[in-house]
Amino acid sequence: MVQDRIKLLLSALAKVVLGVALVGALLFLPAGTLAFDGAWRLCAVLFVPMLAMGVVMFILSPDLLRRRLASKEERATQRGVVGYAGLLFVVSFVVAGLDFRFGWSHMPQWLVWGAVAIFLLGYALYGEVMRENVWLSRNITVAEGQQVVTTGLYGIVRHPMYTSTILMFLSMPLVLGSYWAVLPMMLYIPVIIIRIKDEEQLLVNDLEGYQDYCTKVRWRLLPYVW
């Protein structure tokens, strides 16, 4: 039991360190300098809450943390979605770095810090989703004994986690101070729509009560929109 907890802790820390290194490389290398204030700003609002959330999960819900660290998708559609989403991040971050190096964007500070506020709002919603849904997994699967969650944010939209990620991901380029980096990140919306449709097909077939839930909660991402 203790060895499992230590292994889980080391795995989580390794993911955070790898994430910091990868994001840093994608931002600072194209920028050609460490004086890229937008990159430091994004790393702070991205990884500080991530680390805090990981600590809370490790203490209160290690099984949830274990599921969140799992990364192997079994469905071909979902593997494609994950791959495309990763590519969008790479392109957007590299463009933001180049934007800083060559001075393409001149963004007012009120917009930058407004984007920070939206990003943190998305993070807060993400945390609330994880609190409400103990079955939440990074991979699209149905666990043994899983039940449909219908309370809280799940009583408003069927996929509040994806709503929160859209807020976070679309605000990232603005946190970085780059208008041009918004363009590739906008493609995250059709990518997440594909993910949701495939996920719902699985849940309707494999999760008891999900079809009834869909008739009661009509909206997937945003009320009165979709």
Q: What is the DSSP string of the chain?
A: -HHHHHHHHHHHHHHHHHHHHHHHHHHHHHHTSS--HHHHHHHHHHHHHHHHHHHHHHHH-HHHHHHHH-----SHHHHHHHHHHHHHHHHHHHHHHHHHHHT-----HHHHHHHHHHHHHHHHHHHHHHHH-TT--SS----TT-----SGGGGT-S-HHHHHHHHHHHHHHHHTT-STTHHHHHTHHHHHHHHHHHHHHHHHHHSTTHHHHHHHS--SSSTTT-
pLDDT (0 to 100) of residue 48: 87
- Residue with the bigger pLDDT between 52 and 200: it is 200
CATH class, domain 2-216, is: mainly alpha
Query: What does the mean pLDDT of the chain come to?
Result: 87
Nearest to 197 by CA among 120, 134, 116, 140: 140
Neighbours of 123 (CB within 10 A): 21
pLDDT (0 to 100) of residue 177: 96
pLDDT one-digit tens code per residue, 143-202: 667 888 888 899 999 999 999 999 999 999 999 999 999 999 999 999 999 889 988 988
pLDDT (0 to 100) of residue 137: 66
pLDDT one-digit tens code per residue, 120-134: 999 999 888 888 887
Three-state DSSP string of 141-163: CCCCCCCCCCCHHHHCCCCHHHH
- Residue with the bigger pLDDT between 26 and 15: it is 26
- Residue with the bigger pLDDT between 137 and 28: it is 28
Tokens at residue 156, please? Answer: 């408003």
pLDDT (0 to 100) of residue 45: 92
Residue 60 has pLDDT above 80, yes or no: no
- Residue with the bigger pLDDT between 203 and 35: it is 35
pLDDT (0 to 100) of residue 67: 65
Q: Which range scores top for mean pLDDT: 70-84, 96-110, 123-137?
A: 96-110
Q: Enumerate the domain spans of the chain.
A: 2-216
